[in-house]
Structure 1
Amino acid sequence: MNSRINGFYKQSPSDRLDTIVERADLSAEAQAALANVGLSLGDADNVSENVVGTIEYPLSVATNFVIDGEDTLVPMAIEETSVVAAASYGALMARDTGGFETSVSGPIMISQIQALDVADPHAAKVKILNEKSDLIELANEQDPVLVEHGGGCEDIQVRVIDTPRGQMVVTQLIVDVRDAMGGNAVNTMAEALAPEIEQLTGGDVSLRILSNLADRRLARARCRLDPAVLASDDTDLSGEEVRDRIVDAWAFAAGDPYRAATHNKGIMNGIDAVATATFNDWRAIEAGAHAYAAQGGYGPLTNYEVGEEGYLACSIEIPMQVGTIGGATSLHPTAQASMELLAVDSADELAGVMAAVGLAQNYAGLRALVSEGIQAGHMSLHAKNIAIQADVPQELVDEVAAQMVAEDEVRQDRAEELARELK
């Protein structure tokens, strides 16, 4: 399968769907799910609570990705006009230099059991650790199917932490959740161990819940960019100049949390869109990413430097708590179609794809920021939205939008005026 589709953005939505179905050899079920926009109220009611309707996001496909040697078409659900274009452009820039290489530390999640009012916290810690084997066995009894598939609780750690309410004993379960996101599995284990922890500590167990700082479930991606693909015709900047400005932009984020917040938001634009398309929990991913970025002072999740032969070396390391089985993904036919399009075999592989998308999104945005500016691309897409909002006939939208951008007058009244003139 070749993810390079020339002129894909120029096709009609129905033609794009036909192209994707043919390229990815999608099943009839996946094709039907993608063609039939909408989630039934019955299905929606199974996913959420107090359902009265649904709200739709556009489902797009980012092209050009080569990830670990495989061409990959990436589903992205998002309402921001420039995100899919930036991801596709970022993937294209890396394509001739081999695309993205990824690695994942493993599908390990952490669940915490909080014990309060412990008379001797450090002695309690020793007691818990002395019973580690039995506690692990009890935890694994809660999910024999997970254990059967090679997962389960692998370790137990105990921390005595100082808080504004005094010392607390926190028992942490280290669980391999395989291809699930794992929240339900680790929470069930923590609930089961709570009475044992209470007895061992002599304290009062309160919280029994997973941690979304999934720092044992890290996804990494890297690529390198030839400076030639970074050159900006609009500003006459050379590729080397743009490359160096990107490194300077990263250094700005590394030194200033105000900039780092926006830098990381650019990364999450891409990752959240893939998470939404596959019905993974983007909120958990966001929480873990920003908590990870804040360790030792808030900073960027990506890294840029000038590498061998003057190439721009790009990398990302980010917690990625995603699943390919269970959860809401299995309840939404379009999410299932998105998973079929991705053709990933495991949660680790999905995590690698999402890390690569986040990296591509980030350096594509940085390239625009340090050269022609972010508004150049944004404004042309924004102008189309304004033209549509002004009820410009479909056949005139592109022409009206281009004229407004050329005049630097992107307004609804101007769109209406141009439409009347062109008619």
Structure 2
Amino acid sequence: MIEPISGFSKLSKQEKIEWLSSTYLSGNTKAKEILTQYWNSNSSLQQLHEEFTENTLTNYYLPFGLAPNFLINDRLYAVPMAIEESSVIAAASKAAKFWGRRGGFKAEVLGTQKIGQVHFMYSGDREKLQAFFSKAKPRLLEAVAPLTKNMEKRGGGVVNVELRDKTDLLGDYYQLHCTFETKDSMGANFINSCLERFAETFRAEAKNHEAFDASEKEIEIVMSILSNYVPDCIVRAEVSCPVSELADHGLTGEDFAAKFVRALKIAEAEPYRAVTHNKGIMNGIDAVVLATGNDFRAVEAGIHAYASKEGKYSSLSHADVRDGKFRFWMEIPLALGTVGGLTGLHPLSRIALEILQNPSAEDLMKIVAVTGLAQNFAAVKSLTTTGIQQGHMKMHLMNILNQLKATPREKEVLVAHFKSHNVSHSAVEEQIEKLRQ
């Protein structure tokens, strides 16, 4: 029976691996070798990676690839993407090439404000609370002035602080709903620091507020935290062209556009389809967010919440045909940064931003949204013409060959064979067995 371990965090990396190997991986004779072979030979770089998080054992690698030829607002980009899924980078590149010949992508930032909240409980008179807040608000802003000084120099800071009554959702529940502008930083630490100062000041001011009785003075601060739902930090990405330019795979432009728009209508109406449809968008978005050292979990959470803003989960992207013109677009919330955090610490994140010509946060929002839209276009185009598996499985072929431990010569022969044959795991197994016989 496995016993709990005490002091694990104080063990050296090697000691952690030894404990793990003997406790959970005793049957795997190669476990230690696999874990240690991913250590970076550059000791300072290895230490940097280990200090990103806690109880580090090794490094977990993802491919860092490039999707070239993205024409965005008449400027050409090569987009770095960190992702392990087959066909994503190839599909994004193909869509970029397709739309680059048709005027490219247009992108626009519609808003950049971010949200944080102080959640608190108050059981007294609502009107007295509102009067107190009006009196205390200048004091709240004064209290965070030392924290906002540098952000304000860059054009950011606290935009507004509101008192929100949420007692219809939960008894005695109120919020300080705070809006921030953080410019080129994602701003999580800045926002959370301001919120905690707001909470501290708000509680202290309540204790000295003469109009409150003894119970009303005891406002309970539950928590102070930013929100990853940022419906006012929005970017729009779009492509369009005459319908006649969409002829493909034996379909007229009109037929292609009609099938594509119907596919989007299904994703708008049917949540089961919408989830997979939006996952395809996130294939592109997450890959760029990860490559640039941003928080893809926060981005995912915020975007999927936005997909449910009308009360039902639905497609993030939309398409229509008007006056002979096909339009395909998407508006999504994106809170990203190009300074601070991992963006400045991880060497590959710095390289990724340099590849993108050192964008501002707003420029990065546009690039990320466009990559998601391109990925979505490629996926829906495949679904409504050849089917998703034909292209995906050809890109997945190398994974299957590696699983079957194919030699370099076998890979060469089988890659050539499957250029003209459908790829499936069983078909690859059959062909490799024939080769080996």
- Normalising to structure 2: TM-score of the pair? 0.82
1:272 equivalenced with 2:286 (yes/no): yes
Question: What letter matches 2:320 in structure 1?
Answer: E
Q: Is the 8 A contact 1:87 1:357 kept in 2?
A: yes
Q: Do the aligned residues in 2 keep the contact of 1:266 with 1:362 (CA within 8 Å)?
A: yes
- Tell whether the 8 Å contact from 2:116 to 2:179 is kept in structure 1 after alignment: yes
Residue type at the aligned position of 1:205: I
TM-superposed deviation, 1:401: 3.6
| Offset, 1:117 | 3.3
Take 2:60 and 2:424, find their aligned partners in 1: how far apart are those partners? 32
1:204 aligns with 2:209: no
8 Å Cα contact 1:125/1:160 also seen in 2? no
The SS at the match of 2:393 is helix
CA distance in 2, matches of 1:359, 1:37: 38
**1:392-422 superposed Cα distances (whole Å, 9 cap, x missing partner):** 233542541453571655335324324436x
- In the superposition, the TM-score normalised over structure 1's length comes to 0.85
Give, in whole Å, the separation in 2 of the partners of 1:47 and 1:163. Answer: 41
Equivalence for 1:366: 380
2:297 counterpart of 1:287 = no
Alignment coverage as a number of residue pairs: 384
Q: How do 1:401-420 residues align onto structure 2 when only pairs under 5 Å count?
A: 401-404=415-418, 406=421, 409-411=424-426, 413-420=429-436
Q: Within 1, Cα distance between the matches of 2:256 and 2:55?
A: 51
- Cα RMSD (Å): 2.3
C-alpha distance 136-251 of structure 1, shift in aligned 2 (>3 A): same
Cα 1:229–1:47 change in 2 (3 A) is farther
Unpaired segments of 5 or more residues in structure 1? 1-35
1:326-358 alpha-carbon deviations (Å, 9 max, x no partner):
001111101100110011431011001101111
The answer on 1:260 being equivalent to 2:274 is yes
State the 1:96 CA deviation: 2.0
How far apart, CA to CA, are the structure 2 residues paired with 1:83 and 1:276? 14
Residue in structure 2 matched with residue 182 of structure 1 by the alignment:
187
Name the CA distance, whole Å, in 2 between partners of 1:419 and 1:361: 36
Matches within 5 A, 1:132-281: 132-162=137-167, 165-198=170-203, 199-200=205-206, 202=217, 203-227=219-243, 230-233=246-249, 236-281=250-295
Compare CA radii of gyration and give the structure with the larger one: 2
Which moved further from structure 2: 64-73 or 97-106?
Answer: 97-106
Percent identity at matched positions?
A: 34
Mapped partners of 1:302, 1:209: distance in 2: 30
* Shift, 1:109, TM fit: 1.3
Gap change, CA 1:142 and 1:407, over 3 Å in 2: closer
The equivalent position to 2:62 in structure 1, one of 57, 65, 78, is: 57
Find the partner of 1:298 among 282, 288, 313. Answer: 313
Partner of 2:342: 328
Question: Structure 2 vs 1, CA of residues 129 and 250 (structure 1 numbering), >3 Å: closer, same or farther?
Answer: farther
Structure 1 pair 409–193 and aligned structure 2 pair: CA distance change class (3 A)? closer
1:269 and 1:229 map into 2 onto residues whose CA distance is 26
Query: Secondary structure at 2:223's aligned position in 1?
Result: strand
Q: Is the 8 A contact 1:253 1:260 kept in 2?
A: yes
In 2, Cα distance between the equivalents of 1:261 and 1:37?
42
- Residue 389 of structure 1 and its aligned partner are, at CA, apart by 2.4
For 1:39-78, list aligned pairs within 5 A: 40-78=45-83
Alpha-carbon distance in 2 for matches of 1:247, 1:130: 53
The change in CA–CA distance for 1:142 and 1:249 in structure 2 (over 3 A counts) is same
User: For residues 292-327 of structure 1, what are the alpha-carbon distances to aligned partners after superposition, in whole Å with 9 as ceiling and x for unaligned?
Assistant: 11111211111111134x232011111101100000
Shifted more, 274-283 versus 338-347: the winner is: 338-347
Q: Distance in 1 between matches of 2:241 and 2:127?
A: 51
Secondary structure of the 2:198 match is: helix
Q: Tell me, what secondary structure is at the counterpart of 1:162?
A: coil
| Partners of 2:390 and 2:423 within 8 A in 1 | no
Could you give the per-residue CA deviations for residues 232-282 of structure 1, whole angstroms, max 9, x where no partner exists?
A: 32xx32232121111111111111111111111111110000011111000
Label 1:300 to 1:162 Cα distance change in 2 as closer, same or farther (>3 A). Answer: farther
C-alpha spacing 1:409/1:94, structure 2 compared with 1 (3 Å): closer
1:96 paired residue among 79, 86, 101: 101
* Other-structure match for 1:378: 392
- Distance, in Å, in 1 between the alignment partners of 2:229 and 2:173 is 19
Name whichever of 99-108 and 318-327 sits farther off: 99-108
